[in-house]
Amino acid sequence: MSSHYFIGIPMPDHVRTWLKEWQEQLKRDLSYGVWTHELDFHITLKFLGAVEEDKVHVLQEKLKDTQVSPFDMKIGELGHFGNPYQPRVVWAGAEKHQQLLTLQKEVEVVCENLGFPPEKRPYNPHITLAKKWRGDKELSQKLEALHDQLDRIDRITVDHFTLFKIHPKSDQKYEAVQRFPLQGTK
């Protein structure tokens, strides 16, 4: 049986700390089926789905060749996907930094060349905080008030990305399989 994988940028400790604080505040007002584990906070570059082990090894070799240099980018600002009254996902936003977009495109091309289906939706970088809405009441002003309380802009240095294996039944669902330093870093 194949495991599921994705490629992403893990968050540094200082960011995980305040994202966890955001979750604690959100939990007081919002009802979600899944809250992202603090060690699982990341920005997805490419979701792969089920991958055979031999293909994972080829992918690992090809991902070593990315040509993007390290960069600093901003993260923060609370956002959501779906109906604002019952949002299916609540997230912290990530700046659409040019080098992030270049890295995502390079990863996408590597994956497409190996036969992974292309992503049809426009790339929208974010860090998922909660998903699977199960609130019984609509939100409206509550989400707006939370936006105002929680917005915080921070900077991270992106000097690597990671191939993650998904363990859906665990609390911490994402296992780092391999780290890929950006160009000029170790």
Q: What's the pLDDT tens digit per position in 78-122?
A: 888 887 777 889 899 999 999 999 999 999 999 999 999 999 999
Residue 171 clears pLDDT 80, i.e. is over it: yes
Q: Check 4, 14, 37, 42 and give the catalytic one.
A: 42
* Residue 7, pLDDT score: 98
Q: How far is CA 108 from CA 7, 30, 144, in A?
A: 10, 34, 34
* Residue 65, pLDDT score: 87
What are the residue boundaries of the structural domains of the chain, listed by start? 3-181
Reported pTM: 0.90
Active site (annotated) includes residue 167: no
The rounded mean pLDDT for the chain is 88
For the chain, what's the residue count? 186
CB proximity list for 58: less than 8 A, separation 6 or greater: 114
Average pLDDT estimate for 32-59: 93
**For residue 25, what pLDDT band results from cuts at 50, 70 and 90?**
confident
Domain 3-181: which CATH number of 3.90.1200.10, 3.90.1140.10, 3.40.50.970, 3.40.50.300: 3.90.1140.10
To the nearest whole percent, how much of the chain has pLDDT over 90? 60
Residue 143 clears pLDDT 60, i.e. is over it: yes
Active site (annotated) includes residue 37: no
Residue 175 clears pLDDT 60, i.e. is over it: yes
**The tokens of 152 are what?**
């915080």
Q: Check 97, 126, 147, 160 and give the catalytic one.
A: 126
